[in-house]
Structure formats: structure tokens, C-alpha cells
Amino acid sequence: MSLSGLVVGVTASRRALELAHIIRTFGGVPYIAPTVGIEVSHNVKREAESFIHRLLSEKIDYAIFMTAPGVYSLMSVAASLGIEQELTQKLGDLTVVARSPKPMQALAAHGVKTESVPKENTSDGLAQLLSGRGVTGKKVMILWHGSHSSELKHRLEAEGAKVFESSTYKYSTRLDRGGEGVLRNMGFEFVAPDETKVVRLISEISMDHVGAITFTSPPAVTSFFNIASIHDLSESVKISLNNSVIVVAIGPSTQKALRQNDVSTDVLPSTYKMGSMIRSLSDFLDRKGSAKIRKRFSEQPS
């Protein structure tokens, strides 16, 4: 299995170098142009403090953590207030739910046990999981990532739950000092987003200089197309992605974000991890041939 010199776009930021290494291992050429960073503003810190104090002062039944950076930044705020131990003890007394293994691992690093992780690592998966447990009359706290959908809250409230939401950071086209601190504490060798590099990547895609592009989160997709739109490149890049480039999504949520931007996904791994994603891309090339044009893929027998 090999990518045979295929140029592969990398839109991730916090694990860009790791993903680039995997691409090289498979014989590909990574093109790194991160599209999204995180910002930890004073307003967000105040919101995190409010979340912590509510969790400590009220009888909460479920605490849902959507991302690992959210866990680390929340614990950082708690540590700055001198109440991290109190927070971890309180979390040990209620049902903690993680959206995926990543926040589960971040919680474990702080001594917090996760009781549940949905099979589908999405808001829909969380809603189904909690619905199965019964949430009528329960208090549910959700710590979101940098952006959030109201769908999960509405579904839980429709079943009689009282829902409180918060976020410890927001997504941005840049990476501020607070965001850098969170990523360093998590041990990531991140690459900060740079709009100029993203515009250059989009231009290279339109010139058929990029054979595949990877998206590892919905925000990375959203920011990519926002930047394209700002520079009047949206329609042209969509045409290229749908006709000339292999589009790779790490999981269903990212695939959904691409679909919302009118772009089809060619490769979706069965295991939502970077190594599996690149292996699936390599398998796709083995099955369909090395040509970049998707029409040629469809003309070849499966």
C-alpha cells in the first residue's frame, strides 16, 4: 500500500506534523495548510468559571465533554482558581460522558473516570446514548468545543432534561497565546493556521497540483470554505474537489460538514483515526488506480 508521491493537503493544526509523518510513511507528500486554530479569551474564561461553579454548587446528573482541548482548558481554569481537586472529586460523583476517546483520555489524565462514550462520536450519538438512559428531570451540563449546535440541547430538553452549556475556547482562523498554551499542555506539536497558506493551497487544488485533501474536523471544513469564500474561490474549489481531488474525511461529522458545503467525500475510514484515514486513502488508490480525476475512478471496475 502506497500513496506513490501523491500530494495530500493537510488542513489540521494541532496534529498537523503527526499527520504529515503518517502521509510520508505511506509514500505521500504532505501539503500543510492548517485552516483553524483556537482562542481562549477572557470572556471564555469567565464562562468556564461559571460552568465550574455551577457544577460544584448544584446537583448535576450528567456532565458531557465534547473535546480534549475543552477538558484541558477547563482544568487549567480550575487550577488557576485553586479548585481543580474539588472539581475532579465532584466529577467522580456524577455520570461523566465523553463524545469520543480523546476527551475520555484527557479526563483520565486528570483522574476522572468516563462512564460512557457513544458508538457514534457525534451529537446524534450522544443524544441516543442519553435517551437510552433516561434524562427526564435530570440536569445535564455540556462542555462544547469551539462551536456548538443547538440540536443536542433541544433533543435533551424535549425529553425533559434541564441543560446547561459552556465552552472554554472558540474556533478561529488564528491561534492565540491561550490556545497555544492549551495545545502545549496536551503535548501537541501544532502548526498555527495561516490564511495565506490556505489560499495558496486552494489555488494549487484548482490547478490540479494536489491529488487529495484531508479534513479531520468539521471546523477545519467550515474555515476552509469561509476562507475560500472571502477570496472569491469558493465555487472553483468546490468544482475541483468534486471532480479532480480525492476528498478524505476522518469521520461522519466531518463528512456531514463537507456535504453541507456541497462537496462529496471519497474516503471515510471505519476507524476514525488519522492512521486509519491515510490507510483507507491508500486502499482507495489501490482499488481505483492512481489517476486523480474522479471520473476515471468511476470508469474503472471495483
pLDDT tens track for 132-143: 788 899 999 998
Equal fold, 7-36+193-297 vs 41-171: yes
Does residue 297 register a pLDDT over 50?
no
Does residue 224 register a pLDDT over 90?
yes
pLDDT, average across residues 81-92: 93
Q: pLDDT-derived band of residue 289, with 50, 70 and 90 as boundaries?
A: low
Name the most confidently modeled range: 59-73, 146-160, 284-298: 59-73
Is the pTM higher than 0.85? The answer reads: no
Q: How far apart are CA 29 and CA 214, in angstroms?
A: 12
Q: Strand, coil or helix: what is 109? A: helix
Q: pLDDT-derived band of residue 41, with 50, 70 and 90 as boundaries?
A: low
Domain map (residue ranges) of the chain: 7-36+193-297, 41-171
Q: pLDDT-derived band of residue 293, with 50, 70 and 90 as boundaries?
A: very low
Q: How far apart are CA 251 and CA 16, in angstroms?
A: 17
Contact 144, 166 (CB under 8 A): yes
Does residue 130 register a pLDDT over 80?
yes
Strand 62-65 relative to strand 212-215: parallel, antiparallel, unpaired? unpaired
Q: pLDDT-derived band of residue 17, with 50, 70 and 90 as boundaries?
A: very high
Looking at residue 223, its pLDDT comes to 92
pLDDT, average across residues 200-204: 95
C-alpha cell at 26: 505511506
Does residue 167 register a pLDDT over 50?
yes
Which of 10-19, 43-52, 181-190 has the least mean pLDDT? 181-190
Kindly list the distances between the CA atom of residue 151 and the CA atoms of 12, 158, 167, 221, 289, in Å, as whole numbers in the listed order: 25, 10, 16, 19, 40
Q: pLDDT-derived band of residue 295, with 50, 70 and 90 as boundaries?
A: very low
Q: Given its phi and psi angles, is residue 169 left (phi above 0), alpha (psi -120 to 50 degrees) or beta?
A: beta
Contact 10, 250 (CB under 8 A): no
Does residue 171 register a pLDDT over 90?
no
Between residues 90 and 300, which one has the greater pLDDT? Answer: 90
C-alpha cell at 288: 481505483
Looking at residue 176, its pLDDT comes to 62
Looking at residue 69, its pLDDT comes to 82
pLDDT, average across residues 227-249: 94
CATH number of 7-36+193-297: 3.40.50.10090
The CATH number of 41-171, from 3.90.1170.50, 3.50.50.60, 3.40.50.10090, 3.40.50.300, is: 3.40.50.10090
Looking up cell 470508469 gives 299
C-alpha cell at 244: 479532480
User: Per-residue b/e over 132-171, b at no fewer than 16 CB within 10 Å?
Assistant: eeebeebbbbbbbbbebeeebbebbeeeebebbbbbbbbb
pLDDT tens track for 241-268: 999 899 999 998 899 999 999 999 999 9
Residue 2 φ then ψ, to 5° = -155, 150
Contact 258, 249 (CB under 8 A): yes
Alpha helices in the chain (DSSP H): 16-25, 42-57, 68-80, 84-91, 101-109, 123-133, 151-158, 177-185, 195-206, 218-230, 234-243, 252-260, 274-288, 294-299
Percentage of residues in the chain having pLDDT higher than 70:
87
C-alpha cell at 100: 469520543
Between residues 6 and 299, which one has the greater pLDDT? Answer: 6
